Amino acid sequence: MGVEIEAKVRVTELETIAERLKQLKAEYVDTVRQQDTFFSDPGRKLIDSGCGLRIRRQSGSKEHKAFVTFKGPRETGPYKIRPELEVQISEAETMEAILRGLGYERLLMVEKTRRIWRYDGCEVGLDDVDLLGTFVEVEGPKTETVAHVMDRIGLGGHESIRDGYATLVRKHLQKKDSGKAQAVFDDKQGNGRM
């Protein structure tokens, strides 16, 4: 099983980080639109155990892809660290129909535009997340590597957000209007962190 090691920082704008990545001669990969749909089983075992299940639809200038991702419970550490399994699929709609047929329920959708860069063994995402604003995510193979890249792009002194975007969107919706949040992400099934 793979492990996700990720630092996430809220920023006021993304251009400063993009310029820094260019100065560092980082590899620009693509700008993509990602639509993440999160699911839970009827008994809530998935969420209650701190796990997450999503289908990601990703459209970019080079290609369109879809993935199914399972994320296990978080480990302790300065960044978000958790087991992760991901597989590319050819038909996101069919996979969603399979999950629904197995009793999984759609909980929440998170949409964002991500500029993807690669630098020093890490993937750096410059994210503009619907409802939330702008963030930088650095994902890499080791905590030390992620910390090094965070330092190099000028975010080393910032505290990493350990919640995933699904949890942040849910909290935002609940704060803004508890009635709407209930309709989008039923709290009876959404107490877990994604």
Phi-psi region of 167 (alpha: psi -120 to 50; beta: other; left: phi over 0): alpha
**pLDDT value of position 117:** 98
**pLDDT value of position 183:** 45
In a domain, residue 191? The reply is no
**pLDDT value of position 109:** 96
**pLDDT value of position 1:** 60
Distance CA 21, CA 117 (A): 8
- φ, ψ at 113 (rounded to 5°): -105, 130
Residue 194 · residue 48 · CB < 8 Å: no
CATH number at residue 21: 2.40.320.10
In a domain, residue 174? The reply is yes
Distance CA 42, CA 95 (A): 17
Kind and range of the H or E run holding 18: helix 15-23
Number of domains the chain contains? 1
In a domain, residue 194? The reply is no
In a domain, residue 11? The reply is yes
pLDDT tens, the chain, 194 aa long: 689 999 999 999 999 999 999 999 999 999 999 999 999 998 889 888 999 999 999 999 888 999 999 999 999 888 999 999 999 999 999 999 999 999 999 999 999 999 999 999 999 999 999 999 999 999 999 999 999 999 999 999 899 999 999 999 989 988 876 554 444 444 433 444 45
**pLDDT value of position 149:** 98
Sequence-distant (≥ 6) Cβ neighbours of residue 119 within 8 angstroms: 21, 24, 26, 27, 149, 152, 153
**pLDDT value of position 192:** 45
**pLDDT value of position 42:** 86
**pLDDT value of position 176:** 76
Let me know how long the chain is.
Answer: 194
The domain in which residue 52 lies consists of 2-184
In a domain, residue 166? The reply is yes
In a domain, residue 55? The reply is yes
In a domain, residue 189? The reply is no
In a domain, residue 131? The reply is yes
What does the buried/exposed string (b/e) look like for 105-118 if buried means 16 or more CB atoms within 10 Å of the residue's CB? Answer: eebbbbbbebbbbe
